[in-house]
């Protein structure tokens, strides 16, 4: 066993510059660790956003695969309960006994081999919760399409095997909200875009480029998907928010405006966090009538 | 020829491009022989643009719009999926009509910043 590695979890791990900086540093600093004992000290930590378990889980999964031994120390009961109820803990600690909370989309890693199962799972976890406002079938469908566009995007462009996902509901907010994070530790948007364009843009500029209509790093005889573009339009219609963290980039879309944040560290993959408002059942109306005749 | 998408899948969901390639190949084979193809979306609940690109977007590298309009017919598609399909078609047209212009457009987007 190599020397132990000690990681101090900050006081509040949120979907902001500080939270993403910490997770980026953690991913970067532990990416080559193997055969070590890694102690996560939660002594200072009073809040850890549930959806960010997707990021922590992706990092821990890699550590476990590389024969590291993981310990959580000084974790308070609130965080322990959160980690337990969203099934994050049971992914790493067998026999965790707390019941699943209806306010979470449980921690999950997808391979997208069984697409039907993946869709049924997310649909049930997202829309079939007690006390959640009803959303129209079309609105539900649009949200699901966008979620899976992100997953397919991660697997295709990140060249990774799994996408990690976790979500948290906030039913007491008005309107109720859900935050979901998707993570892959794979090729970054920065690496893909800069290689494709043969330039050296910053992480933020490459994310903005990837979000622009018509832009794709795909080459050959198949055009790229429209995943991130569709997602933007969903977010704008829904009045939610979208955050993308990749390499040294962190871009947020809210109220139709892109905001570039700066993170000090480098995330060796991509995090997509979407926040959706659940109160409006018909936020998305299809206004364009399209005819199938001569559609091509 | 009638091609029902659901027959190629294990359910009503199509997410990854890999699920679309076998359907694309059957369509292509019929279109190569200038046979009329009815692509039936009956029973489909959820499809991504990545899947639709693999099934249909890719056809633009092999056939003209005229051939596709003449021989490929869309059946039983929901209005929301049709909007999605139209976006995929418009992107594929732009991508394949003039790949260099498409490429230039993308690079210009960056250089203009």
Q: Which residue from A142, A245, A250 is spatially nearest to B83, judged by alpha carbons?
A: A142
pLDDT tens digits, A202-248 = 999 999 988 876 677 766 667 766 777 778 888 888 889 999 999 99
Judging contacts by C-beta atoms under 8 Å, the chain B residues touching residue A295 are 69, 74, 85-86, 89
Residues of B in contact with A286 (CB under 8 A): 79-80, 83
Per-residue exposure over B22-50, b if at least 16 CB sit within 10 Å of its own CB, e if not: ebbebbeeebeeeeebebbbeebbbbbbb
CA dihedral over A252, A156, A290, B64, signed as positive or negative: positive
Identify the band that residue B113 occupies on the pLDDT scale cut at 50, 70 and 90.
Answer: very low
Which residues of chain A does B98 touch, with a Cβ-Cβ cutoff of 8 Å?
A: none
Nearest-angstrom CA–CA distance, A217 and A207:
12
Asked if A280 and A224 count as a contact pair (C-beta separation under 8 A), the reply is no
Tell which B residues from 1 to 40 touch A, by Cβ distance under 8 Å: 9-17, 19
A285 in B contact zone (CB under 8 Å):
no
- Only one residue has tokens 């560290």, namely A265
pLDDT digits (tens, 9 = 90+) for A64-74: 999 999 999 99
pLDDT of residue A146: 86
Put simply, whether B57 touches A (Cβ < 8 Å) is yes
Name the range with the highest mean pLDDT among A64-78, A84-98, A212-226, B18-32: B18-32
Tell whether B95 is within 8 A of chain A (Cβ): yes
Cβ-Cβ contacts under 8 Å for A26 (sequence gap 6 or more): A7, A56, A59
Least confident span in A77-81, A156-160, A249-253, A274-278 = A156-160
SS3 B72: strand
**Nearest CB to A227: which of B11, B49, B62?**
B49
- Whole-number Å distance between alpha carbons of A26 and A11: 15
pTM score of the predicted model: 0.86
Any CB–CB contact under 8 A between A116 and chain B?
A: yes
So what's the pLDDT on residue B110?
Answer: 43
Please answer yes or no on whether B15 and A118 come within 8 Å at the CB atom: yes
Report which DSSP code applies to A31. T
Residues of A in contact with B113 (CB under 8 A): 205
A105: number of Cβ within 10 Å: 26
Q: What confidence score (pLDDT) does residue B31 get?
A: 97
Mean of the per-residue pLDDT values for chain A? 86
* A295: nearest CB among B13, B89, B106: B89
Q: How far is B97 from chain A (nearest CA, A)?
A: 12
Q: How far is A200 from chain B (nearest CA, A)?
A: 11
Q: Using a CB–CB cutoff of 8 Å, tell me whether A288 touches chain B.
A: yes
Beta bridge partners of A109: A164
Instruction: Return the H-helix or E-strand segment holding A45.
Output: none
Are β-strands A47-48 and A12-13 bridged in parallel, bridged antiparallel, or unpaired? parallel
Residue B58 Cα, gap to closest chain A Cα (Å): 5
pLDDT at B91: 85
Could you tell me which of A213, A276, A291 has the C-alpha nearest to residue A51?
A276
Classify residue A145 by burial, with Cβ atoms within 10 Å: 0-12, 13-18, 19+: buried
Is A180 within 8 Å of A235 (Cβ atoms)? no
pLDDT of residue B9: 94
């Amino acid at each position: 066993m190599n020397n132990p590695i000690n990681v101090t979890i900050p006081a509040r791990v949120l979907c902001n510059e500080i939270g993403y900086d910490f997770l980026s540093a953690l991913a970067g600093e532990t990416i080559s660790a193997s055969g070590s004992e890694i102690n996560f000290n939660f002594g200072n930590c009073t809040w850890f956003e549930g959806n960010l378990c997707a990021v922590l889980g992706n990092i821990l999964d890699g550590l476990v695969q590389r024969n590291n031994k993981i310990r959580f120390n000084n974790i308070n009961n609130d965080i322990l309960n959160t980690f337990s109820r969203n099934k994050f803990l049971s992914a790493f600690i067998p026999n965790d006994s707390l019941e699943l909370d209806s306010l979470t989309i449980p921690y999950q890693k997808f391979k997208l081999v069984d697409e039907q199962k993946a869709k049924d799972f997310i649909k049930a976890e997202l829309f079939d919760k007690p006390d959640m406002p009803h959303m129209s079938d079309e609105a539900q469908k649009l949200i699901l399409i966008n979620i899976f566009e992100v997953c397919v995007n991660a697997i295709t462009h990140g060249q990774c095997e799994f996408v990690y996902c976790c979500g948290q509901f906030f039913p007491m907010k008005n309107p109720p909200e859900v935050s979901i994070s998707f993570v892959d530790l794979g090729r970054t948007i920065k690496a893909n875009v800069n290689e494709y364009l043969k330039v050296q843009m910053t992480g933020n500029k490459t994310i903005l480029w990837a979000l622009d209509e018509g832009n794709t790093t795909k080459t050959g005889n198949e055009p790229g998907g429209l995943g991130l573009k569709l997602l933007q339009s969903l977010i704008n219609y829904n009045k939610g928010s979208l955050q993308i963290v990749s390499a040294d980039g962190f871009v947020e879309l809210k109220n139709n405006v892109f905001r570039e944040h700066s993170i000090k560290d480098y995330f060796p993959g991509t995090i997509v966090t979407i926040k959706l408002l659940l109160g409006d059942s018909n936020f998305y109306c299809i206004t364009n009538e399209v005819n199938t005749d001569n559609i091509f | 020829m009638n091609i029902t998408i659901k027959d190629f899948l294990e359910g009503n969901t199509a997410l990854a491009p890999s699920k679309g390639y076998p359907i694309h190949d059957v369509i292509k084979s019929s279109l190569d022989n200038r046979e009329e193809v009815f692509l039936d979306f009956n029973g489909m609940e959820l499809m991504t643009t990545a899947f639709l690109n693999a099934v249909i977007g890719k056809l633009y590298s092999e056939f003209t719009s005229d051939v596709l309009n003449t021989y490929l017919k869309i059946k039983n598609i929901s209005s929301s999926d049709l909007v999605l399909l139209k976006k995929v078609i418009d992107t594929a047209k732009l991508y394949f009509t003039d790949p260099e212009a498409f490429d230039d457009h993308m690079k210009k987007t960056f250089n203009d910043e």
